[in-house]
Structure 1
Amino acid sequence: MLCWTRRALEALLWLCLAAGLGSPSSRDSRSWERSAELDEGGRVRLSWSATRAGYGDESGGQRRESIAFRVEARTTGWVGLGFSPAGSMAGADLVIGGVTTNGKPYLQDYFAERNERPLLDERQDYRLESASQNSTHTELIFSRALDTCDSHDKIIVSGTVRVLWAVHAEDVEDSSGDPLGDPSGTRAQYHGAARGVRSLNLLNPASEVPGDLGLTDAVDLCNHNVEVPSSDTTYWCQIFRLPELHTKHHVIRVEPLVKPGHEGMVHHILLYQCALGLHEAILQSGHRCYQANMPEEFRSCESILFAWAIGGGAFLYPPHVGLSLGEPGDPVFVLMETHYDNPLQLSGIRDNSGLRLHYTAQLRAYDAGVMETGVWVSLYHMVPPHAPHWVSQGHCTRECLNEALGTERPQGVSVFAVLLHAHLAGRELLVRHWRGDRELPLLARDSEYDFNFQELHMLPSERLLLPGDHLTTECVYNTEGRVNMTWGGQSTHNEMCLAYVLYYPRVNLSRCQSLPEINGQLAFIGVTDIYKPVTTWPFLIKDPIQYRNLTFTEAMDRFRWGRRQRRHFNQLVLRLPVNIRCSKYELEEWSVQGMVTNPEVQVPWTSLNTSIVCPTGVPVSGHHRGPRVQGEGLAQGAQRKASTAITVVALLVLTGSPST
């Protein structure tokens, strides 16, 4: 069976270029932290490193962060690089540079307010460090501050950044071959189709390559030539038996093996630990996940081990952490869940993508764990149509963390990475961290979330998570183009609000989530009773008469969702009591599972404009933003009580099945 890795093909291509087959000669001796090919054809490659440089006095001066770039492009004309909030020219921050025909380097800072030609920025905040060119390629090295204090420059923050690129065969020069000033942006010849965009996380710390990587064995977990169904969303499940190990080992690297050409279809891959004692016969074939005919053994695979999503590369565990194999209680059978995204509903496509696990007998100090947090995936998680800004919150409550960590690890665990996950309506995702009444800095944030680029966020420094702490996963959605409710569920047109928290040492906690009670949500649209006992899913409405015999999903769709109704409904949902999910491994639960409690965090996280002192000494507002201290973020404040007009007990409804 053959597994594929695009990264290996990219590495081979650029090794050839480095050997002199294409790249221009350069005196650059800098060690670049990260690099990426910006287009499938290999025309443009970007390398970058974030650095720090101090200014001001030691007591009151601030530290400026900067970032340096190297662009290698297959052209002898101009090269363009930019950063855009949505992947288009509108609002983009751009540079255009090159080497003229008489050997003079140039680089100019531009901006675009609309989808049209860029304008020269009055403040030139990019510094050209070097430029070189040969008969086929151009190389530019330049740097800038992460926040230039210029309203025409994009602030580069941790999380997704949409990187624009463009090239042209001609330079921006005059008839004598000198660089040409171009304030109107009209002298640079139009790039035509030689352009593109790629989402990257420019500030994600580079993983440290372990010294024992060469001493590892590897196992490939690949789908068995799966024929991808011609539906827009498919979850495919396959169970594998891991190698039989007689001593403890650690997985230290996980590599995606995506078949070339399927990069846009293989949306994410999750790896779950299965119950012990499965029969070998279960390994013979895979099945569509979560369907009625899925074998019962597949439902024993509930504990998340690893998560990879589209756009992510190989993942290296920190040097002191590894995923344990070979000991009692460690995974023997694993289920790999592959999400195929096929919006064109193509048929006849076969796939054998998967994951490669590198493992070693040289043990690290700690075993890694993964905890799924956020909103419990359910129809009770809903977003009205036409909403430009809707906030959902999922709580990993202090009750759950107090019981689980207090029992297993009273001194707490250390978080080192987070994977944020939503579907097509997701716009911004973040994880908030509370200790007592105090909100700590965000654990992770992606302010320009891209469904087609989901990379593990490595924390700049590890974060201690203690018993009694509280995590809130917050997702901002936009449903302006939709006419019906968006429901929590597996399809890409449904929604999720999840964060996979990677930590050490591993404790017996697999999921720490919440779900808003359905009673208050139904009361908002006027529902007063449902048919009992609940025998159908979704359950049926009894009263009032305008909703009678409709499912609750049909009733929600029938309601007229105006701007005022959406706003009030969002405020209500954030204050409704929540049902706690606090799950162990091996299909067991902590005692607080199913508990109903009021959410401690009820107000969405907000960025505040603050004044900073730029290097010129001139205060500039609106560029640096931080968390606002929330006035009613905790349970000590008065809680809005959910309507009690519905006579249904929430737990009774939940037993009908919260999942889709």
Structure 2
Amino acid sequence: MPLYSTIQTMDAALRLFVGLAVTLMIVGHTESAAVDAVTSEPFDFSEVLDSNGNYVLFWNFNSAHVTFEVHVQTTGWVGFGLSENGNMFPSDVVIGWVDDSGNAHFSDRHANGHRLPLKDKSQDWHLLQGSQDGAKTILKFQRKIDTCDPQDRTIPENTARVIYAYNDEDPVSDDAIHYHGSTRGTKSVSLLSSIQTPTNLPSDVKYIDILSRNYLLPPAKTTYHCFAFKMPDIGKHHMIKFEPIVTPGNEGHVHHFVLSRCNVSNPDDIDGIHGMCYDDRPKALPQCNEQILAWAVGGEAFYFPESVGFSMGGPEDGNLYVLEIHYDNPSQRSGVIDNSGIRLTLTSSLRAEEAGMLMIGDTVTFSQLIPPGRQNFVTVGMCNDKCIQESLESSNLTEINIFAIFQHSHLIGREIRTRHFRNGTEIEPLQNDPFYDFNFQETRKLPKVVKVRQGDSLSVDCVYDSTSRVGLTFGGLSTSDEMCLSFIYYYPKFPLSICTSRRTYNAVNSPPALAYHDLVSVDWSNQTEVAFIEEKIERSKIAGHCIRTDQPPNYFQDFDSTMYKQPFVAPQTVCTNRK
């Protein structure tokens, strides 16, 4: 299909059709609540837990407590709880109902098998009120973030696996609660997220939709499609929000977006070029290294803090943008048409701080190796102090301020931690998600801004469960391959955009090619051979990659990684009775 470019002006909209559609809309806008319901108090957060809208969760939190309110389409009992992996057990749950006399019943329980959850010795979830409104049951309850009860689960700072269930009948007693049947489920949410949806955006906001245009997915398991475009000539603005636009019905195919930019000498000649991002990439399509945003499956809208914006449209903001879309098509369906992409919300009312994005972790390459049959195999990707030091010095900065992070791995990822080192010692991690969910990936604001200074270094640790795999899992682009990355938002902006590392597998005095061959030809049922190879992986040398927007890439061979093995020791909890 030949490329073409036309410009049409329709009221306040500017469209550029180039195989990609870039739409600028200038309108006033007021944000609306995510869920329309009458609640007992204003709630900052809400989530529809089931696909039919029968179970809606509202909540608020402070530094010590979380207040929940559930609205459920039933006149029977209602269950709610927390689980490590989304299963009904082991879990920390509550069960409540309102009887025919209007009396509310409620109990704190724990589930440890295919049986009625047992009442906790200590009742730490507290009912605030219970009522029925027609065919709906409403329960409001509260608990501490950490109850210090070994039969309860601490509410995590990142991914929480919420479980829910309900039944149409009231129990006859606390010990005779009918089975929920199929009216149950699980959903990953971030209960302690500090990002709230603003009730109003600035009156001068503009929206830019960057969408694929009737793209026909190839019948391939994995496709990375890239589109290059010029930003509409709007002058300097700040991006204050971004959100996904996914074609209905294609949710299972659209895996992630990455938007990047760069400066090129001939942007008009490249505007509109599109094709594969990696294999068979068009020669004229540049590899832009300044990351702007990353979104993946499960994520929703991200709002920048009120004092922070990401500069776009200014003279120093790059003249060419590239949108990368990763499509996942494991059944190799044909005939799938996609118009998905990203909506950017911009304002000309510039904010006090200008954000940048830094990608760190393990370099995406087949040098990342995960043996099969391992329940807790760890990959570490490092951003060394030299990369950070030189980039800060070149900008006359002593530190940057990190305010949000998007952590990313693929199907067998179970935990991700973004670690922070100073003077050879690990300090508090920037972000720790011990219950990572591939289907719930989002950019999350940190509870407090964290400073990264000259001399500091960072790493991303990913824990994988490869017990379902029979052979090696490699780092790579396919969803069945793996990644270990963190995309970090910070201010003020400096030139470092990518800071990663990879293992070179030459620790046993053998050429890299031979060392790599040894790794991929292992008999994984031979424990002696496996132990030798895992030692080789552990002892292999590490090469660092430092990519900046103001100079060619730097590579650091065989840098010292010993500091990354000294874990942060969290302060002891105030709880004395936790097992």
Alignment of 1:371 with 2:358, yes or no, is yes
Contact 1:576 1:598 in 2 (8 A): no
Q: In structure 2, what residue type is equivalent to 1:504?
A: Y
Contact 1:221 1:240 in 2 (8 A): no
Show structure 2 runs of 5+ residues with no match. Answer: 1-20, 24-28
Contact 1:575 1:598 in 2 (8 A): no
| Matched residues, number | 553
Equivalent-residue separation in structure 1 for 2:378 and 2:529 (angstroms): 14
For the aligned residues, what is the CA RMSD? 2.6
Equivalent-residue separation in structure 2 for 1:259 and 1:344 (angstroms): 19
Q: 2:549 aligns with which of 579, 585, 605?
A: 585
Equivalent-residue separation in structure 2 for 1:196 and 1:229 (angstroms): 33
In structure 1, the partner of 2:226 is 237
Q: Secondary structure at the match of 2:521?
A: helix
TM-score (normalizing by structure 2): 0.89
Contact 2:522 2:529 in 1 (8 A): no
Q: CA deviation at 1:279?
A: 4.7
In structure 2, the partner of 1:519 is 506
**What does 1:646-657 align with in structure 2 at a 5 Å threshold?**
none
Specify which structure has the higher proportion of strand.
Answer: 2
Equivalent-residue separation in structure 2 for 1:99 and 1:204 (angstroms): 31
In structure 1, the partner of 2:4 is none
**What does 1:210-229 align with in structure 2 at a 5 Å threshold?**
212-229=201-218
Q: In structure 1, what residue type is equivalent to 2:35?
A: W
Q: Secondary structure at the match of 2:194?
A: coil
Equivalent-residue separation in structure 2 for 1:372 and 1:611 (angstroms): 32
In structure 2, the partner of 1:601 is 563
Q: Secondary structure at the match of 1:81?
A: strand
Q: In structure 2, what residue type is equivalent to 1:291?
A: D
Equivalent-residue separation in structure 2 for 1:563 and 1:409 (angstroms): 53
In structure 2, the partner of 1:50 is 61
Equivalent-residue separation in structure 2 for 1:305 and 1:13 (angstroms): 26
Contact 1:34 1:47 in 2 (8 A): yes
In structure 2, the partner of 1:249 is 237
TM-score (normalizing by structure 1): 0.78
Q: 1:488 aligns with which of 464, 470, 475?
A: 475
CA deviations 1:537-578 (Å, max 9, x no partner) are xx5x4x9xxxxxxxx458523344655655665565445432
Q: 1:558 aligns with which of 522, 531, 544?
A: 522
In structure 2, the partner of 1:631 is none
Q: In structure 1, what residue type is equivalent to 2:458?
A: L
Q: In structure 2, what residue type is equivalent to 1:320?
A: S
Equivalent-residue separation in structure 1 for 2:329 and 2:569 (angstroms): 36
Alignment of 1:204 with 2:183, yes or no, is no
In structure 1, the partner of 2:46 is 35
Contact 1:258 1:266 in 2 (8 A): yes
Contact 2:427 2:568 in 1 (8 A): no
Equivalent-residue separation in structure 1 for 2:286 and 2:487 (angstroms): 20
Alignment of 1:104 with 2:103, yes or no, is yes
Q: Which stretch of the first structure deviates more once superposed, 85-94 or 569-578?
A: 569-578
**What does 1:173-572 align with in structure 2 at a 5 Å threshold?**
174=172, 180-182=173-175, 187-207=176-196, 209=198, 212-245=201-234, 247-280=235-268, 282-284=270-272, 286-292=274-280, 294-520=281-507, 523=508, 528-529=510-511, 541=514, 552=516, 556-560=520-524, 562=526, 566=530, 569-570=533-534
Equivalent-residue separation in structure 1 for 2:331 and 2:225 (angstroms): 18
Q: In structure 2, what residue type is equivalent to 1:472?
A: S
Q: In structure 1, what residue type is equivalent to 2:373?
A: H
Q: CA deviation at 1:160?
A: 1.0
Show structure 1 runs of 5+ residues with no match. Answer: 19-25, 53-64, 175-179, 531-538, 544-551, 623-660
Q: Secondary structure at the match of 2:555?
A: coil
Q: Which stretch of the first structure deviates more once superposed, 421-430 or 198-207?
A: 198-207
Contact 1:384 1:485 in 2 (8 A): yes
Change (3 A) 1:559 1:210: same
Q: In structure 1, what residue type is equivalent to 2:123?
A: Q
Q: Secondary structure at the match of 2:496?
A: coil
Q: In structure 2, what residue type is equivalent to 1:34?
A: F
Equivalent-residue separation in structure 1 for 2:22 and 2:55 (angstroms): 29
Equivalent-residue separation in structure 1 for 2:255 and 2:547 (angstroms): 26
Q: Which has the higher contact order (CA 8 A, sep 6+)?
A: 2
Contact 1:255 1:355 in 2 (8 A): yes
Q: In structure 2, what residue type is equivalent to 1:346?
A: R
Specify which structure has the higher proportion of helix.
Answer: 1
CA deviations 1:241-290 (Å, max 9, x no partner) are 22112x32111111111223333332221111133344546444632321
In structure 1, the partner of 2:577 is 620
